[in-house]
């Protein structure tokens, strides 16, 4: 299920393509199976936004508690590919620990350029809050989690809480603000000494840095970190290019005494959250952070 029916979906990034890319370099790599949990209810293909005659969908994984903190999961794929199904394993495992999780699709670069995908994610948050009772959600305990390019979007979404420039006009006036951010190996600044973003970022942003430097800066979460930014967990690989801007973000967070945590998954592929033997450690870091933020 996707958004714009006359745009052929880019399938260059999938679980299988990532596995095939890394299996020689990491011989112990193993795909994470789709486990079902008895304490989690699943609702697939829930339409959260209509664009002209097409819809965007989310998949919900809801712990059977009456009310849970919510976690919105944003998939990666270079802003051009990927799908919410890639976040199902994480969503299920997190939900089983007492959360309502939502893996969402959003418009990618072939369909719509920045900032439309950001608008979609914020729309999904408002939709989830509007249906809090149905989804067993505490509207005041919402985290956003993103992976790779999805982590870039997720961190930008969280860093622009209550920023009208990043809100599309909508009849739904419920706030899209979130209360925690989880960044899985996503860049924080597009134009940065550590960044190697090039063609894919240019395609999504609508031009190169030389063409539109103001957009590259605007789309970088680093540009928006302030005293209003929620706590952030960074879970990263050993590849520095995916951490571009992280230390700068942490410096600002520390100035405002905002909690932040960095965990490194060493000797792993970039997409460590998709595979064993790194998946369980990733889940542990996420659950510990969420519990400390929302439950302890």
103-162, pLDDT tens digit by residue? 999 999 999 999 999 999 999 999 999 999 999 999 999 999 999 999 999 999 999 999
CA distance 294 to 296: 6
- Could you tell me which residue, 5 or 249, shows the higher pLDDT? 249
Is residue 260 within 8 Å of residue 254, measured between CB atoms? Answer: yes
Confidence tier at 207 by pLDDT (50, 70, 90): very high
* 276's tokens: 């064993």
Which 3-state string (H, E, C) describes 68-101?
EEEEEEECCCCCCCCCHHHHHHHHHHHHCCCCEE
Q: Say if residue 2's pLDDT is above 50.
A: no
Q: Say if residue 3's pLDDT is above 70.
A: no
Pairing of strands 68-74, 54-63: unpaired
* 179's tokens: 């209360």
Q: Say if residue 281's pLDDT is above 90.
A: yes
Task: Give mean pLDDT, residues 238-257.
Answer: 95
CA distance 74 to 144: 8
Mean pLDDT over the full length of the chain: 95
Specify whether the backbone of 145 is left (phi greater than 0), alpha (psi in -120 to 50) or beta.
beta
The CATH H-level (homologous superfamily) assignment of domain 15-294 is Alpha/Beta hydrolase fold, catalytic domain (3.40.50.1820)
Provide the whole-model pTM. Answer: 0.96
Instruction: Give the start-to-end residue ranges of the domains of the chain.
Output: 15-294
């Amino acid at each position: 299920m996707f958004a714009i029916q006359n745009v052929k979906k880019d399938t260059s990034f999938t679980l299988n393509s990532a596995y095939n890319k890394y299996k020689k370099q990491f011989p112990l790599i193993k795909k994470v199976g789709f486990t079902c949990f008895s304490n989690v209810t699943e609702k697939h293909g829930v339409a959260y936004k209509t664009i002209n005659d097409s819809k965007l969908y989310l998949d919900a994984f809801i712990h059977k508690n009456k009310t849970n903190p919510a976690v919105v999961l944003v998939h990666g794929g270079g802003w051009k590919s990927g799908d919410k199904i890639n976040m199902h394993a994480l969503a299920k495992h997190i939900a089983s620990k007492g959360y309502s999780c939502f893996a969402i699709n959003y418009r990618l670069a072939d369909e719509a350029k920045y900032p439309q995908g950001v608008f979609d994610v914020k729309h999904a948050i408002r939709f989830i809050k509007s249906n809090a009772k149905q989804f067993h959600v505490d509207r005041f305990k919402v985290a956003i989690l993103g992976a790779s390019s999805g982590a870039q979007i997720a961190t930008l979404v969280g860093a622009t809480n209550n920023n009208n420039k990043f809100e599309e006009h909508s009849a739904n006036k419920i706030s899209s603000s979130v209360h925690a951010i989880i960044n899985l190996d996503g860049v924080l600044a597009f134009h940065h000494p550590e960044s190697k973003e090039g063609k894919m970022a240019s395609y999504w942003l609508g031009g190169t840095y030389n063409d539109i430097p103001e957009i590259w800066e605007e789309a970088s979460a680093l540009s928006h970190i302030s005293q209003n930014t929620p706590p952030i967990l960074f879970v990263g690989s050993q590849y520095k290019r995916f951490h571009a801007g992280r230390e700068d973000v942490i410096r600002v967070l520390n100035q405002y005494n905002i909690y932040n945590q960095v965990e490194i998954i060493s000797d792993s592929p970039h997409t460590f959250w998709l595979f064993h033997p790194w998946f369980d450690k990733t889940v542990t870091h996420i659950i510990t952070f969420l519990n400390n933020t929302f439950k302890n």
